[in-house]
């Protein structure tokens, strides 16, 4: 009687183990087959982001902690940083590509992925109406809810958390630029 009872318990457990093992092996196989393609697409997206935030650049050269934006002759125009600020968006950390000219003026800002932010609200922080406000600013950027003045950016309506996360990432990039510039003098 005891053997029959043990068999009735082991049989479903063994069956579940075999199914879980097969599923794990298939997932590992698919991951192995797609990992290179996914990595290539991520690199492509990062390169496109660099050109989006520093459109005057003809090429980029990897440097310590950033990319150097170069003109067609290879002269340095500025830098592109990929940062996350101290503040997080509603859906977690927000990574932002930030272009900064040699004069410390922002050339562009582009969040990497806002898909975890609230649709129709936080995701609007990826739209030109918000991002274009950063272009041409320098120094620490302040976020306000109404009527921005010079050096200020107006938050996306009903998306202050995401707007704060993007602005925080931009200010971190500006701090990195200042540290780099201070170290170069």
79 CB-near residues (< 8 Å, 6+ apart): 63, 66, 67, 68, 69, 99, 100, 177, 180
Number of structural domains in the chain: 1
List the helix and strand counts (H, then E) for the chain. 3, 7
Is the residue at 88 inside a domain? yes
Question: How far apart are alpha carbons 73 and 78 in whole angstroms?
Answer: 14
Residue ranges in the chain modelled with pLDDT below 70: 1-7, 183-185
Helix (H) / strand (E) containing 133: none
Q: Which domain holds residue 81?
A: 51-184
The whole-number pLDDT of residue 54 equals 97
The per-residue pLDDT for range 4-31, each reduced to its tens digit, is 666 677 888 889 999 999 999 999 999 9
Q: What is the model's pLDDT at position 6?
A: 67
Domain membership flag for residue 13: no
Token digits for 58?
A: 């003809």
C-alpha distances out from residue 157 to 3, 36, 120, 133, 144, Å = 68, 39, 10, 14, 11
- Residue 40 maps to a domain: no
Is the residue at 35 inside a domain? Answer: no
* Separation CA 83–CA 81 (nearest Å): 6
Q: What is the pTM of this model?
A: 0.79
Q: From CA 170, how far away is CA 176, in angstroms rounded?
A: 10
Assess if residue 162 is contained within a domain: yes
């Amino acid at each position: 009687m005891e053997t029959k009872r043990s068999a009735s318990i082991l049989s479903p457990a063994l069956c579940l183990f075999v199914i879980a093992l097969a599923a794990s092996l298939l997932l590992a196989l698919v991951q192995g087959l797609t990992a290179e393609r996914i990595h290539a697409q991520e690199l492509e997206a990062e390169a496109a982001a660099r050109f989006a935030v520093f459109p005057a650049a003809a090429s980029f050269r990897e440097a310590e902690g950033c990319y150097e934006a170069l003109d067609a002759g290879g002269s340095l125009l500025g830098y592109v940083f990929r940062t996350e600020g101290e503040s997080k968006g509603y859906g977690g950390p927000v990574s932002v590509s930030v272009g900064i000219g040699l004069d410390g003026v922002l050339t562009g800002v582009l969040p990497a992925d806002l898909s975890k932010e609230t649709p129709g609200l936080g995701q609007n922080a990826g739209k030109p109406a918000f991002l274009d406000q950063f272009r041409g600013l320098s120094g620490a950027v302040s976020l306000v809810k109404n009527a921005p003045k010079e050096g200020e950016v107006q938050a996306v309506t009903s998306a202050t958390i995401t707007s704060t996360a993007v602005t925080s990432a931009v200010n971190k990039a500006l701090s990195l630029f200042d540290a780099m510039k201070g170290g170069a003098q």
